[in-house]
């Protein structure tokens, strides 16, 4: 997003939809769409159909039906938070390249929320018997099935699950999936492991106290509020205060009607309830962001005590499962600059230039590529590899370092660098005893290890064997003049030198393109030798 298009972040989700629509980034579908079989697959195609990221859009479905023919009054939006980095940036009110800095400043300078007594998210209240009647409660909400053919239920996905530490009283927000089980019951999956979800830490405390755990699930908050959920902030840091810093003003909060929690007042929908920590209920299958279907496991059932929403609310969901997806973009645009800042500013590794978290299929966190300045000190490269692999326990199972001529977003270029600039005996380290990354539960072992690879350029190399840049640019102009199919220029698209190149060879090359190649032959004739074996490099026996 360019400077002239910078806008103030939206205060609520529907304002955000209007911002996207104004910029041509919202597709509105008015024909009937089945939320159980058609909705998520339709939006999925923009992620798996070969569209460049900048062409992805948010979708708004205004005529929602289900497989039983039921029609819903409430529209559904998918892809409105982070179908692309540009959409994410609009929600942040930032330029894409300033997102990381904005996050770091907000975390360091939180703005506490303000509390109000009335709120749009409580315009409509559903409680008591209305939660239990046939077609009531949760069944009133047009909750899509995310992975038709595999998911066991409609799932809440674009969630902010709010819970409170019973000791400190500090609230925590996390993005956890929740499966619909009945009109007044759902099952929440919070990451139950060391370093896992803040909500799970709270659940453990309520279980020890033998008390019911209040929870509020927010659907459709402003983007700056929603973005704090996947950010994995410290469990004792109130994410709403960080969101306030991102907004530049306090976030309005209101007390829930049936549980002792505060929720963003300008949200679309709030589902209030109580979790009994003494009981677990089978949940899933559900298509997960690691690219596998999460199989059935026991998780936390929540008894719904109230549903509140705006008068004309919009339900929202995200595209997750196999990446690239909306959930991976949410993480990528924030995680990459945070990792780069950690390496540069916290660890003082000044020679690191970029951090790229591999997105297609692998979902960012397991595979990270680091780009270093050419000639970077070996010690600094290895400090960077270790630093990237240990910043977050779920990130950096495989970390590869490359030099600045390698585009870390091109796996082909990374593999080329690994093939010709890495010696496994000296440039690879295996580090034991890391926590399993997401998806490791599907394998036979719980323990994981880390693979670190230094594939940087360690000495002078011959030039890359493509025509030099001026000739490729001239050929590109000719291509366009001839009306040939549009080109997508991916690095490397021209040759360049890598240190092992001298003035004589440069002279030979310039003569060749000028048609004076015979002059080169006259010079090499004078350099003939009878005392050498074939393929002896001239650089080893001659001085240039």
pLDDT value at residue 7: 66
Run of H or E including 525:
helix 517-525
Strands of the 64-65 sheet, one edge to the other: 33-34, 64-65, 71-72
40 has pLDDT over 50? yes
Q: Is residue 285 part of a domain?
A: yes
- Reported as type and span, the H/E element at residue 352 is strand 352-357
Q: Is residue 280 part of a domain?
A: yes
Task: Return d(Cα 369, Cα 519) in angstroms, integer.
Answer: 45
Residues 167 and 247 in one domain: yes
- Give the helix/strand (H/E) hosting 511: helix 503-513
Rounded Cα distance between 426 and 454, Å, is 9
CATH number at residue 434: 3.40.1670.10
> Partners of 172 in the beta sheet?
163
pLDDT per residue as tens digits for the range 139-172: 999 999 999 999 999 999 999 999 999 999 999 9
Cα–Cα distance, 209 to 166 (Å, whole number): 9
Residues 490 and 366 reside in one and the same domain: no
Q: Are 371 and 478 within one domain? A: no
Considering the domain boundaries, does residue 265 fall inside one?
yes
Number of domains in the chain: 3
Quick one: which H or E segment has residue 27?
A: strand 26-29
| pLDDT at residue 1 greater than cutoff 60 | no
Is 335 a member of any domain? Answer: no
Residue 339 lies in a domain: no
Q: What is residue 100's predicted lDDT score, i.e. its pLDDT?
A: 85
Q: What's the pLDDT score for residue 235?
A: 64
For residues 443 and 481, membership in a common domain is answered with: no
Pick from 231-245, 431-445, 453-467, 522-536: least confident: 431-445
- pLDDT level of residue 439 (50, 70, 90 thresholds): low
pLDDT of 101 higher than 90: no
Residue 155 shares a structural domain with residue 206 = yes
292: alpha, beta or left? (left if phi > 0; alpha if psi -120 to 50): beta
Please tell me whether residues 289 and 379 are part of one structural domain: no
Work out the average pLDDT over 430-438: 81
Same domain, 166 and 22: yes
Residue 323 lies in a domain: no
End-to-end CA distance of the chain: 50
Last residue of a domain, one of 404, 429, 454: 454
Using 50, 70 and 90 to split pLDDT, how confident is the model at 195?
low
This prediction's pTM: 0.89
Kindly state whether residue 353 falls inside one of the protein's structural domains. Answer: yes
Whether 287 and 256 map to the same domain: the answer is yes
Q: Which long-range contacts (CB under 8 A, 24 or more apart) does 333-338 make?
A: 333/82, 333/85, 333/88, 333/89, 333/96, 333/99, 334/99, 334/100, 334/103, 334/227, 334/231, 335/364, 335/395, 336/100, 337/99, 337/100, 337/101, 337/103, 338/100, 338/103, 338/104
Least confident of 53-57, 254-258, 488-492: 488-492
Q: Identify the residue with better confidence: 239 or 376.
A: 376
259-314 pLDDT, tens per residue?
999 999 999 999 999 999 999 999 999 998 888 899 999 999 999 999 999 999 99
DSSP string, 446-502: S-EEEEEEE-S--S-BPPPSS-BHHHHHHHHHHHHHTTPPPP---S--SB--BB---
The reported pLDDT for the residue numbered 437 is 64
Residues 6+ apart with CB under 8 A from 215: 161, 162, 163, 188, 199, 259, 261, 272, 273, 274, 275, 302
Tell me the C-alpha distance between 265 and 267, whole Å.
6
What DSSP assignment string belongs to 39-77? HHHHHHHHHHS---GGG--EEEESSEE-TT--EESS-EE
CB 307 within 8 A of CB 138: yes
| Domain limits for position 153 | 3-317
pLDDT value at position 2? Answer: 43
- What average pLDDT does this structure show over 383-403? 95
Average pLDDT, the chain: 93
Q: Is the pLDDT of residue 438 over 70?
A: no
CA distances from 304 to 1, 131, 141, 258, 269 (A): 41, 8, 13, 10, 13
Please check whether residues 446 and 476 belong to one and the same domain.
no
Listed residues 302, 317, 332: the one ending a domain: 317
Cβ count within 10 A of residue 85: 18
Whether 393 and 366 map to the same domain: the answer is yes
- 262 inside domain: yes
pLDDT digits (tens, 9 = 90+) for 318-356: 998 899 999 999 989 989 998 999 999 999 999 999 999
Q: Tell me what pLDDT residue 4 has.
A: 43
Share of the chain above pLDDT 90, in %: 84
Which of 454, 482, 497 represents a domain boundary (last residue)? 454
Residues 497-541: pLDDT tens digits?
A: 999 999 999 999 999 999 999 999 999 999 999 999 999 999 999
Residue 3, pLDDT above cutoff 50: no
The confidence band for 183, taking pLDDT boundaries of 50, 70 and 90, is: very high
One domain for residues 135 and 239: yes
Tokens in use for 511? 């003569």
Q: Based on the domain organization, do 369 and 514 belong to the same domain?
A: no
Give φ, ψ of 185 to 5 degrees.
-150, 140
Length of the chain: 544
Average pLDDT over residues 421-425: 97
Residue 220 has pLDDT above 60, yes or no: yes
Give me 114's structure tokens.
């303000």
Q: Say which CATH number the domain at 258 has.
A: 2.30.110.10
φ and ψ at 247, to 5 degrees?
-75, -20
The predicted pLDDT at position 97 comes to 87
């Amino acid at each position: 997003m360019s400077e002239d298009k910078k806008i103030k972040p939206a205060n609520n989700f529907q304002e955000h939809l209007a911002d996207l629509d104004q910029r041509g980034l919202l597709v509105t579908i008015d024909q009937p769409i089945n939320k159980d079989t058609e909705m998520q697959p339709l939006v999925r195609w923009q992620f798996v159909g070969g569209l460049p990221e900048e062409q992805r859009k948010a979708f708004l479905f205004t005529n929602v039906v289900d497989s039983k023919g039921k029609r819903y009054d409430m529209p559904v939006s998918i892809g409105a938070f982070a179908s692309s980095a540009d959409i994410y940036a609009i929600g942040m009110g930032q330029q894409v390249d300033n997102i990381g800095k904005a996050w770091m400043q907000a975390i360091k300078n939180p703005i506490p929320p303000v509390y109000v007594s009335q709120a749009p998210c409580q315009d409509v209240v559903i409680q008591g018997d209305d939660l239990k009647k046939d077609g009531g409660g949760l069944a009133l909400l047009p909750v899509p099935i995310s992975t038709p053919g595999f998911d066991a239920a409609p799932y809440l996905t674009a969630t902010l699950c709010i819970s409170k530490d019973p000791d400190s009283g500090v609230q925590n927000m996390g993005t956890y999936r929740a499966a619909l089980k009945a009109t007044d019951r759902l099952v929440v999956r919070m990451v139950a492991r060391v370093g896992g979800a803040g909500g799970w830490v709270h659940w453990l405390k309520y279980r020890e106290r033998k008390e019911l755990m209040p929870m509020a699930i927010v659907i459709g908050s402003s983007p700056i509020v929603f973005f704090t959920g996947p950010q994995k902030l410290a469990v004792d840091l109130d994410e709403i205060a960080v969101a306030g810093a991102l907004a530049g003003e306090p976030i309005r909060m209101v007390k829930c009607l049936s549980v002792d929690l505060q929720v963003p007042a300008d949200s679309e929908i709030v589902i209030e309830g109580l979790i009994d920590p003494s009981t677990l209920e089978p949940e899933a299958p559900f298509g997960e962001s690691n690219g596998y279907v999460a199989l059935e496991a026991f998780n936390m059932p929540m008894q719904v005590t109230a549903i509140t929403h705006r008068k004309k609310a919009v339900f929202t969901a995200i595209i997750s499962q196999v990446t690239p997806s909306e959930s991976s973009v949410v993480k990528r645009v924030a995680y990459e600059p945070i990792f780069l800042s950690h390496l540069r500013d916290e660890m003082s590794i000044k020679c690191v230039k970029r951090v790229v978290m591999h997105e297609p299929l692998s979902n960012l966190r397991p595979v990270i590529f680091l780009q270093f300045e050419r000639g970077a000190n070996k010690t600094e490269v290895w400090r960077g590899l270790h630093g990237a692999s240990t910043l977050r326990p779920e990130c950096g199972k495989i970390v590869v370092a490359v030099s600045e001529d390698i585009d870390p977003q091109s796996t082909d270029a990374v593999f080329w660098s690994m093939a010709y600039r890495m010696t496994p005996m000296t440039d690879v380290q295996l580090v034991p005893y890391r926590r399993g990354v997401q998806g490791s539960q599907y394998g036979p072992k719980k323990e994981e290890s880390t693979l670190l690879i230094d594939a940087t350029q360690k000495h002078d190399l011959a030039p890359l064997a493509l025509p030099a840049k001026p000739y490729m640019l001239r050929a590109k102009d000719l291509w366009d003049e001839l009306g040939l199919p549009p080109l997508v220029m991916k690095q490397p698209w021209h040759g360049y030198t890598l240190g092992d190149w001298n003035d004589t060879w440069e002279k030979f090359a310039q003569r060749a393109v000028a048609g004076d190649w015979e002059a080169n032959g006259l010079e090499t004739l004078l350099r003939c030798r009878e005392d050498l074996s074939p393929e002896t490099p001239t650089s080893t026996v001659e001085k240039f």
